[in-house]
A and B are shown apart, each in its own frame.
Chain A
């Protein structure tokens, strides 16, 4: 079973925080609220799907600036903006920077809850992907240097014989490296291996 998702709320208004907590609780999500961004920063985030409901107008700095600060800190929590006086440029900027939703207070509960579902789902997917990459990387790290060389050439589409020629060894030796690498990587097929290396490549970008 996947761990319970958490919704973080940053709003300087206690009433809004309290009401959001109550509302979000009705769909069975955990809610943690903060009156200011720095309180949130100081909190250790759980290793489970989560999202952040962020008031644009905050004491200290604007929600939009905080969004960028989080990105700079590689905190990739999906953000739902709520604002009392949102305008289009502000919304556009927030969305471009990866916000899930930009809601104007007061909003329909369903709009917020839908946005939360989307955000949580996005975070869950991201986390899964990150975990996959992590796993692949781990397995990849377990390969010997010869196995990695062979793996790269296999993924490039070279035949065993061609690889043997390239590396100046016997074709049979290559076959052994190849099957060992496949096993270490938990790859069921060549296609599987290609996908795994693509995921690693795109993650390392």
Chain B
């Protein structure tokens, strides 16, 4: 350097090359330093990444170790290469016990083939035989317990080796809750169906058929049947059959109590449940079970209190689940209650109908009896004028045959024939009016006019019996609503009774008074009073049919009279008078005044 300066300020070629070299070295050195720095940084960075990675793995390991779900990794052969503690816990194995074992040990026997085939096919073709996310499967614990699990799978490849990791969650609790919910819903639905069926009008068969159909539909039954117990014959009678069989005939149509499983259920009042039909001694027709592929049977007695009403039973092609059994048990109670209520209702209806029939029958008997007695009484009443008619007619014929044509005699006979014919006809009208009470034609009428008509009819009887008539008719009476013929009958009966009560009188005048008056607003009263012997019995007796004080009376007059008055909304009363005589009176409501 001093040499370059000595040579003056003139720079030699060597000096230039050296300077260039130096510059390049310096540049390179800087580059290297930068590179170094970068390398150092990279190393530091990688270290950091590695640390982070290690930390993450640790984190994951902790997660896997601590997870409540089982985590199981298998290799391409299906052998277990990793399990987490939850796996051991869930399946009941020791910490390392599963390593090297086939995954299939965690599955029920029935699923193992399926798994093996599916796993192989996936590896060969990539086609998954099950959904890898959230698939519900059945798992098998070390002690043989099967339990529902939800499984998700993941796959990774390490060094060309494929590993499969499964996350297995025990869903027993959830499943149980779901099943409970389903059972609850099912129960609710079937109960609703049964309740609805029993709420409908219809025969017990129809109702029970709906119940059976609901059981088939909701309890997954192949068919369901309902028998009711006939207590008299001790026979279970098939009332409903739904599903595979719907006929109500055949060997099971009538099952004696205590025979076959149905009869046993009814007699012992205990349910019969079986999910192993081929080995169940209670199942008689094994060939049928095999042919139809029946797997389960459940039969419940229909009980109210300690009485057996019948049996409900179902066959299923799947084992009958505990939930189904619960539903069936509950529904059996409901059906039993329904049958009981239905029967009570039917009995009530029957007894109501019977009561009605009996009432009708009673009314008819009373009427017929009354009619029979009346007929005897009427026979006399009709016979008298008829006899007179026949006698007079015969007399006329004889007189004509004898050429004895005395006009007065013939006229007298013919007049009597006409009068007696009319009298007989009136009697018949009275009978008709009595028989056809419902045919009573009510119209507003003047009760005084009715009394007058009867008085003119009874004029002869009054005269012949030397009876003094005293009529006091209030002419200001409102009209009454009534049947003219029936009210005539009433007044006639009372007047004739009055006259007859006095036929034996010799020691005092025979007085008959007929009175009409206003009893109270809207009521009129008619009274017939005689001076006869009166009566000593209670007035009520007088009105009962067949009670009579007359030696040959039928005891119907007053009974009929009262019926007629009551038909008109009135009342008939009797009073025995002191010192002698009797008064019979009736009230009638006045006819409503027509409003304009």
Contact = CB atoms under 8 A, between A and B. Distances in A.
A106 B395 CA distance: 14
A13 B461 CA distance: 10
Interface string A78-96: 0000101100000000000
A14 B423 CA distance: 12
Contacts of A25: 395
A82 to B, nearest CB: 8
A139 B385 CA distance: 53
Interface stretch (A16-24, A127-135, A169-177, A180-188): A16-24
Interface residues of B, number: 35
Contacts of A57: 380, 552
Interface string A29-64: 000000110000000000000000000011111100
B413 interface: yes
A59 B548 CA distance: 13
Given A19-B395, A84-B383, A26 B388 contact: no
Interface stretch (B69-77, B278-286, B330-338, B398-406): B398-406
A105 B394 contact: no
A109 interface: yes
A35 B420 CA distance: 17
Contacts of A145: none
B161 interface: no
A204 interface: no
B412 interface: yes
Given A23-B394, A26-B398, A109-B398, A16 B387 contact: yes
A16 B383 CA distance: 9
B96 interface: no
A202 interface: no
Given A23-B398, A62-B552, A106 B503 contact: no
B551 A59 contact: yes
A15 B423 CA distance: 10
B508 interface: no
B363 interface: no
Contacts of A35: 464
Chain B CB within 10 Å — which of A85, A105, A108 has the most? A105
A57 B503 CA distance: 15
Nearest to B410: A22
Interface string B550-566: 11100000000000000
Contacts of B419: 15
Contact of A105 (B384, B404, B551): B384
B376 interface: yes
Given A15-B419, A36-B503, A60-B504, A23 B387 contact: no
Given A23-B392, A60-B551, A16 B379 contact: no
Contact of A106 (B386, B397, B413, B504): B386
Contacts of B552: 57-59, 62
Chain A CB within 10 Å — which of B383, B404, B500 has the most? B383
A62 B552 CA distance: 8
A63 to B, nearest CB: 10
B460 interface: yes
A109 B388 contact: no
Chain B CB within 10 Å — which of A16, A20, A25 has the most? A16
B416 interface: yes
A105 B398 contact: no
B389 interface: yes
A16 B384 contact: yes
A106 B392 contact: no
Chain B CB within 10 Å — which of A35, A57, A58, A106 has the most? A106
B111 interface: no
Nearest to A18: B416
A109 B391 contact: yes
A27 B552 CA distance: 33
Given A26-B399, A26-B402, A59-B500, A19 B388 contact: yes
B409 interface: yes
A56 to B, nearest CB: 9
B376 A85 contact: yes
A36 B409 CA distance: 25
A155 to B, nearest CB: 51
Nearest to B376: A85
A59 B398 contact: no
B281 to A, nearest CB: 77
B395 A26 contact: yes
A183 B240 CA distance: 115
A58 B504 CA distance: 13
A22 B386 contact: no
Contact of B464 (A14, A20, A22, A109): A14
A85 B551 CA distance: 15
Contact of B551 (A15, A62, A82): A62
Nearest to B461: A14
Interface in A88-132: 105-109
A13 B388 contact: yes
Given A57-B552, A85-B380, A106-B386, A23 B395 contact: yes
A25 B402 CA distance: 12
Contact of B387 (A22, A58, A85, A105): A105
14 contacts: A16-B387, A19-B389, A19-B420, A20-B391, A22-B391, A22-B412, A26-B399, A59-B500, A59-B550, A85-B380, A105-B387, A106-B383, A106-B389, A109-B397
Interface of A: 13-16, 18-20, 22-23, 25-27, 35-36, 57-62, 82, 84-85, 105-109
- 3 closest Cβ pairs, A-B complex: A109-B394, A19-B391, A15-B388
